[in-house]
Structure 1
């Protein structure tokens, strides 16, 4: 049996033409079935499971064992809370269930710091599966989600196209899509979009991201490390090359997920909406990694504001929102990893959003005073809008330099012993 598992090929998710060939060939019967208003749930389950197994194989079966343990753990938590929530609604038990649901992910993030190596219990996609499971527990607490079967839960949790990279979906939206098969005209429109997503995804990931990430970035890093110091000109090049590589690689990856989702009759939420034309940081987070941003907004930021207001922790509502921004973005930083640069990235955006809100309030006040004095509002034209886009873009790029971890190499070089 061990020889069988070790003999399985490892398939890099959306990584090469061979993967796409097998994936599109396997998804074709699903799309044809949808065209005739039929779903093949057993085939869909085998399709998803087969590709998940192949993407997690490699050096042994550790990731597969971790996935199995994780799915059992989250299934117990979700369904035990479902039973509990029918007649009870204690907030502390709700917090406990959420904490227990996040625990495997937290362990994966913290274990490398403790053990100085990769966590034994991690697997590709654990972050996105955790968002789905925790989201279901929160929506049960809110009364939005009441009834679902084990099959529906596993189908949502293990949905292949978005398994490893998102977008982060919500159960109710996903399940409605699954159970309401689109009409033929809509399916043809979804097919057209899938082709477009695939073509754009190939351009983003395999051409543009390759240029920035494989051609430009390595020599720029070498130059920057050779120059040393706190900051240098090649480091500025690293900042832009990494930021653009990050966007085009991740956006391309997401486009592939959307394309395959469409072919399975599911309209997964888009993740990027021209983030680099944002006029301020708040708009940026409404355009960048949108499913993650909206998840944190709905399930962390808004709830924290509600708790702070309800308990009258701060008298000033602006202080309340500022604290919520800071906590929200710090948690997002910790989600990426327990290292100083991820935490600094979260702190950077938390402070940035606080400053952003303060400026918008100040601008509103100034315009009000100018209006009372019979003066025109502060200028708002093509030049000022273009300037705000340029400023926001560069602020975001600075945050990406933090996020990249390159400053850790530049500032704290590890010399061979």
Structure 2
């Protein structure tokens, strides 16, 4: 059963979370009952009888062994080679899940949520390398963080130290009531976004474009805008569900969207769209690449280093979605847009040719909206059909 895809899932979830709400309102610890709920929900999600559950178990054991082994190693030594090997082994199942379909091999490595579980495990390894995580973590802590079910399939991507702080907290009745109120509001918002607005756009507009559009060009143009809006409402609705359920469980999972369609430029857009993913790639790919280039002094030009970082970042983000041409082109397109804006921003700081003020802010938002929509048009694969 796919999370948040049917009303049956919400009915089951409501029944399972009722004791959580009662415990929270009473000021009791939520940890142990939440573990029980997680086990039950994961059993429901992976009840299809395929290899997904077995792959999840093997993957989780592998990540726990790698993380615990590296934390033990890092307490005594700090070899870059060992760090890269452990990181590669942690990412390897995700790489295989992307490559096996291309090689026409049975995709035994893939299961629901493999990407987001990988991000969680690799983040712990990187933060251990950086000295932010020093103490040995228990198997319970690792598994509880990695398999936190509300966000398992499509995020948001939480950070271990932030998650652990909430997970260990004993919420007062007043604090939990506020969390519960916010969580329920987010769930209702998710229903509005995903099952009303998103569903309506897809069912009553996108699926009827052939009868609405008067030409092939108009068809593609209307599809570009409607698909962009559908993608936002569908994904933002899912995120609202995930965050809302997390709140009910006493975990303040991060937000994923902050009104992305009012972004003033492409950089601002990536600070508002799928924020947990873009911030993950920014912190653990882009920034590490830039710092490595500066430390090794392989490239002296700061602009070039920054733009190469954007190319690496967005090509990886595109390939992460899949190895199909539309995802690679989507990544390359955003790399080009970010590099172009990087040049423009630097040039404008010197020459100050781009006017400021409310009118120009509106113009900037309109331009950015169209740039973003064309990117989603590429992402949809429609131009390559």
Q: Aligned partners of 1:343, 1:151: CA distance in 2, in Å?
A: 37
Change in 2 beyond 3 A, CA 1:378/1:44: closer
Q: CA deviation at 1:221?
A: 6.7
Q: Aligned partners of 2:117, 2:9: CA distance in 1, in Å?
A: 22
Corresponding residue number in structure 2 for 1:351: 336
Q: Aligned partners of 1:246, 1:75: CA distance in 2, in Å?
A: 34
Is the Cα contact below 8 Å between 1:31 and 1:263 reproduced in 2? yes
Corresponding residue number in structure 1 for 2:304: 319
Change in 2 beyond 3 A, CA 1:40/1:384: closer
Alignment of 1:233-248 (within 5 A): 233-248=218-233
- Whether 1:153 aligns to 2:142 is yes
- Of residues 357, 375, 385 in structure 2, which corresponds to 1:399? 375
Corresponding residue number in structure 1 for 2:345: 360
- Extract unaligned runs of 5+ from structure 1: 1-10, 368-376, 410-417
Alignment of 1:130-169 (within 5 A): 130-147=118-135, 148-169=137-158
Q: CA deviation at 1:215?
A: 2.4
Q: CA deviation at 1:351?
A: 1.1
TM-score by length of 2: 0.96
Q: Report which of the two structures shows the higher radius of gyration computed on alpha carbons.
A: 1
Corresponding residue number in structure 1 for 2:72: 83
- Of residues 190, 196, 215 in structure 1, which corresponds to 2:204? 215
Is the Cα contact below 8 Å between 1:31 and 1:265 reproduced in 2? no
Is the Cα contact below 8 Å between 1:161 and 1:257 reproduced in 2? yes
Q: CA deviation at 1:379?
A: 2.6
SS of residue in 2 equivalent to 1:127? helix
- Whether 1:124 aligns to 2:124 is no
Q: CA deviation at 1:191?
A: 1.5
RMSD: 1.8
TM-score by length of 1: 0.88
Q: CA deviation at 1:31?
A: 2.6
The number of residue pairs the alignment matches comes to: 384
Q: Aligned partners of 1:76, 1:223: CA distance in 2, in Å?
A: 56
* CA deviation profile, 1:200-233 (whole Å, cap 9, x unmatched): 1111000111012232222337988x977xxx22
- Of residues 10, 13, 18 in structure 1, which corresponds to 2:3? 13
Q: Aligned partners of 2:57, 2:40: CA distance in 1, in Å?
A: 14
Q: Aligned partners of 1:335, 1:12: CA distance in 2, in Å?
A: 20
Q: CA deviation at 1:365?
A: 0.5
Corresponding residue number in structure 2 for 1:386: 362
- Whether 1:39 aligns to 2:29 is yes
Q: Aligned partners of 1:96, 1:242: CA distance in 2, in Å?
A: 40
Q: Aligned partners of 2:211, 2:83: CA distance in 1, in Å?
A: 49
* CA deviation profile, 1:395-414 (whole Å, cap 9, x unmatched): 000000111112221xxxxx
Is the Cα contact below 8 Å between 1:221 and 1:235 reproduced in 2? no
Alignment of 1:25-36 (within 5 A): 25-36=15-26
Corresponding residue number in structure 2 for 1:110: 99
Is the Cα contact below 8 Å between 1:276 and 1:284 reproduced in 2? yes
Q: Aligned partners of 1:85, 1:322: CA distance in 2, in Å?
A: 32
Is the Cα contact below 8 Å between 2:318 and 2:328 reproduced in 1? yes
Of stretches 250-259 and 339-348 in structure 1, the one that deviates more from structure 2 is 339-348
Is the Cα contact below 8 Å between 1:63 and 1:122 reproduced in 2? yes
Of stretches 42-51 and 100-109 in structure 1, the one that deviates more from structure 2 is 42-51
* CA deviation profile, 1:312-354 (whole Å, cap 9, x unmatched): 1222111111111111111111111112211111111111111
Is the Cα contact below 8 Å between 1:332 and 1:346 reproduced in 2? yes
